[in-house]
Amino acid sequence: MSKTRILQIRQDILAENHAEADAVRQQLTDTGCYMVNIMASPGAGKTSLIIRTIEQLRNQFRIAVIEADLDSTVDADRISALGIPALQLETGGYCHVDARMTASALEQVDAAATDLLFLENVGNLICTAQSETGAHLNVAILSVPEGDDKPLKYPIMFRYADIVLLNKADYLELEEFDTDAFRRRVAALNPEAPVCLISCRSGAGIDEWIRVLTTRIPDWVRRTGK
């Protein structure tokens, strides 16, 4: 009986979060703001990817960033230094962002003055994929040093992602990473998700990432560069 009750409670919590995520997504859509949820383990390159993306798209879109972390403003400070609005979201020990947290953060973000909103989720490959944030697009990053077996160990993350990025591709010659095996493992879990090889350090593959990203951004999002 106890186990059944625990399962029911978890289902109730997930259903409630799903409903709130739908409301957040509709709120953003109504204001013309498109949110991208960036998920990865610590050190995989979430902030570096956002900075590279800002460099490429800041003349086309009004960009803002929500930086989620357990307790730090380091990443938000890096974004703010670029002249981009950045809000630090401290999760109070939670290992992921849920829709309630996103809704709270949006009270301090001018969504009507934002075309493209990036949410840098808390660094891990488990919880972040289990809790909807209200984002329109979910992006998972894996770095080469983490190993090509991660889709086998953390399948939920790769099933949930709309786009998968393999960062630190410049390490491929130094690591025993089987790119073909990685692609096959992602495809087995999520055949619709494109896999892009990138290096945020060198800039290799960033143009391909930008192309894939911008093709996903709908027409209702204002493009200031038009």
Q: Which of 77-86, 87-96, 122-131 has the lowest mean pLDDT?
A: 87-96
Query: pLDDT at position 174, please?
Result: 86
In the numeric block, the tokens 């077996």 are attached to 149
Q: Assess if residue 222 is contained within a domain.
A: no
Which helix (H) or strand (E) covers residue 224, if one does?
A: none
Q: Assess if residue 110 is contained within a domain.
A: yes
Query: pLDDT at position 223, please?
Result: 83
User: Domain count of the chain?
Assistant: 1
> Does 7 score more than 50 pLDDT?
no
Residue 216's pLDDT band (boundaries 50, 70, 90)?
Answer: very high
> Does 6 score more than 80 pLDDT?
no
Question: Mean pLDDT in the chain?
Answer: 91
The pTM of the full predicted model, rounded to 2 decimals, is: 0.91
Compute the distance between CA of residue 127 and CA of residue 55 in angstroms, rounded to an integer.
29
Q: How far is CA 58 from CA 34, 50, 63, 225, in A?
A: 14, 11, 7, 9
Residue 222's pLDDT band (boundaries 50, 70, 90)?
Answer: confident
Rg (Cα) of the chain, in Å, rounded? 17
pLDDT tens per residue across span 20-53: 999 999 999 999 999 999 999 999 999 999 999 9
Q: Assess if residue 221 is contained within a domain.
A: no
> Does 5 score more than 80 pLDDT?
no
Q: Assess if residue 148 is contained within a domain.
A: yes
8 Å CB contact between 206 and 198: yes
Its domain, for residue 161, covers 2-216
Q: Which of 41-55, 107-121, 196-210, 211-225 has the lowest mean pLDDT?
A: 211-225
Q: Assess if residue 128 is contained within a domain.
A: yes
In the numeric block, the tokens 């973000």 are attached to 109
Give the single-character DSSP code of 84.
-
Q: Which of 10-24, 139-153, 157-171 has the lowest mean pLDDT?
A: 10-24
Query: pLDDT at position 9, please?
Result: 47
Side-chain-side CA neighbours of 216 within 13 Å: the count stands at 20
Q: Assess if residue 225 is contained within a domain.
A: no
Q: Assess if residue 187 is contained within a domain.
A: yes
Tell me the CATH number at 87.
3.40.50.300
Q: Assess if residue 224 is contained within a domain.
A: no
Q: Which of 96, 41, 91, 85 is nearest to 71 (CA)?
A: 91
